[in-house]
Structure 1
């Protein structure tokens, strides 16, 4: 993936990791489009930034995704990078029957959302030079957080999807997986100040350094996520899982 000269669409770009990376990509000389459901956050994200644009989108709405894709390609025909970042996380107690609406929402947002948005844009991206799809997963794709089973499963699904998509799109569209560790954002209540979580700016800076490597790694993995990513290979899953269960 080029470091500059792209037109990049970042879903969930109004806050957290999406916002931090969108603004850094903009600073590096890219045209950036941020989407999300919160119009006020989107407008704040692009304020004072030429060539950074806000467009509302609810990735849980299949019809809205299709209409949005047609509109965004018409407005930005040079669009060549899609960053599937929008996601939600909730904790669940699965020890007894419960309301599954939170699980439903995570599956639609975290799995169907990026699949639908990718599908809506793939014909366009496949025709562009230097095109790429970046799927934001999680270290929890590799070792689950027991109190967040559906979230962890959704990210494991997107890891698998990214691996398969990379094979299908070889030579047409670069597929990159970005798997964050625990980062100080507002993804869950209190997370933005939680002890032991990686500061957002530090995370974004390290990610940008990894994206600058040539060729771009298929997986963007900061040092803090390596214990989870490598747990299965080095036989430490039980220990890492026990650590996560204690959180």
Structure 2
């Protein structure tokens, strides 16, 4: 994709990887729209980056996804890049009280939302790029986040199919595959020892400049290249103390 002169919608752009992408895309002279559930988080970003356009939207709700698309189609019909970044992560066990209800929120946000948004936004004549944020856990699950890992495996598979299916529309589909990073995903403090988001952003932007469509870093780079034995070994390392 070209890195400047775009109008980009980033879901979940108020924190974590989404915020890192927002900052970098602005630096690269793009117009950025961010959406998220928390108005306060969006307002903080807009204070730091006055050029950012914000929209409050709960992507777990189908009607709000439709409303987001209709708003973009009416007010920003020149959006040409969709970044499906929003996601939630629950640390839980299958026999925990409320497991299924929490699982449903992950499935609606991590699977239903980006699949639906993809179907909606390909209707925009201007759309030429979709970036899907999956995970290194697409390749090997971390059993403390069993449903999250499964949703990312689904999203990885869907992205591979979309890359093929949208070729005839001249829509480039890019998979961004982060490892664990120092964000609040899953809860504050859980990833404090992980690499900073800034290191990941620097690495993946270099890969974008190089024309790559599978963007990896650290653990996710290793897993994307791993064979069956390496995946099994990684699973055992990740989950040796899980449960």
* 1:79 maps onto 2:73 in alignment: no
Q: Distance in 1 between matches of 2:43 and 2:110?
A: 23
Q: Distance in 2 between matches of 1:246 and 1:191?
A: 21
SS at match of 2:99: coil
Contact 2:8 2:32 in 1 (8 A): yes
TM-score (normalizing by structure 1):
0.91
Structure 2, unaligned runs of 5 or more:
none
Q: Distance in 1 between matches of 2:149 and 2:120?
A: 25
1:143-158 equivalences in 2 (<5 Å)? 143-158=140-155
Per-residue CA deviations over 1:159-203 (Å, capped at 9, x if unaligned) read 0100111111004210011110010000022446522x1111111
**Structure 1 stretch 39-48 or stretch 3-12: which is displaced more?**
39-48
RMSD: 1.8
Change (3 A) 1:192 1:204: farther
Match of 1:174 in 2: 172
Cα drift, residue 78 of structure 1: 1.2
Match of 2:65 in 1: 65
Q: Distance in 2 between matches of 1:53 and 1:13?
A: 11
Change (3 A) 1:97 1:46: closer
Q: Distance in 2 between matches of 1:194 and 1:74?
A: 41
Cα drift, residue 234 of structure 1: 5.9
Q: Distance in 2 between matches of 1:227 and 1:83?
A: 24
Q: Distance in 2 between matches of 1:97 and 1:65?
A: 29
Q: Distance in 2 between matches of 1:95 and 1:230?
A: 34
Aligned counterpart for 1:188 among listed residues 186, 189, 200:
186
1:128-139 equivalences in 2 (<5 Å)? 128=126, 131-139=128-136
Contact 2:183 2:192 in 1 (8 A): no
SS at match of 2:123: helix
* 1:199 maps onto 2:196 in alignment: yes
SS at match of 1:90: coil
Contact 2:143 2:239 in 1 (8 A): yes
Cα drift, residue 223 of structure 1: 3.4
Q: Distance in 2 between matches of 1:152 and 1:97?
A: 20
* 1:244 maps onto 2:238 in alignment: yes
SS at match of 2:141: coil
* 1:230 maps onto 2:230 in alignment: no
Change (3 A) 1:244 1:48: closer
Cα drift, residue 98 of structure 1: 5.6
Contact 2:179 2:219 in 1 (8 A): yes
SS at match of 1:236: helix
